[in-house]
Amino acid sequence: QKEVEQNSGPLSVPEGAIASLNCTYSDRVSQSFFWYRQYSGKSPELIMSIYSNGDKEDGRFTAQLNKASQYVSLLIRDSQPSDSATYLCAVNKGYSSASKIIFGSGTRLSIRP
């Protein structure tokens, strides 16, 4: 079992709809959780971080964390063609300082006009 699991997709969502991306992790001691966006040929860009159970909203993005279920998700509202990218879920066991950050293999998201 991989430490961070994501559905590879592609996930196709119509423009203006909500895109829902999911991630599970295996290590219960994990403390910090991140979503990165990666366009083809580019490096990962941090878009959301979440540390506590519940929801965290930032503009059109909402990250959701459920530590009991070891589950993290990212919702993208009012999806735009520019949201088409690979979304990487990442998990860090450290809280006081960064330690090893483990990435999932990513979910490819395609927003169709």
Partner 1 sequence: GAGVSQSPRYKVAKRGQDVALRCDPISGHVSLFWYQQALGQGPEFLTYFQNEAQLDKSGLPSDRFFAERPEGSVSTLKIQRTQQEDSAVYLCASSSGRQGDTEAFFGQGTRLTVV
Phi and psi at 23, nearest 5°, equal -155, 140
Q: Is 34 in the site for partner 1 (CB under 8 A)?
A: yes
Angstrom CA distances, 82 to 39, 56, 72, 75, stand at: 10, 22, 23, 15
The count of chain residues that interact with partner 1, using the rule CB under 8 A, is 28
Binds partner 1 by CB under 8 A, chosen from 7, 20, 22, 49: 49
Residue with Cβ nearer partner 1 (82 or 97): 97
Residues lying near partner 1 in the complex (CB under 8 A) are found at 4, 6, 31-32, 34, 36, 42-46, 49, 51, 88, 92, 94-106
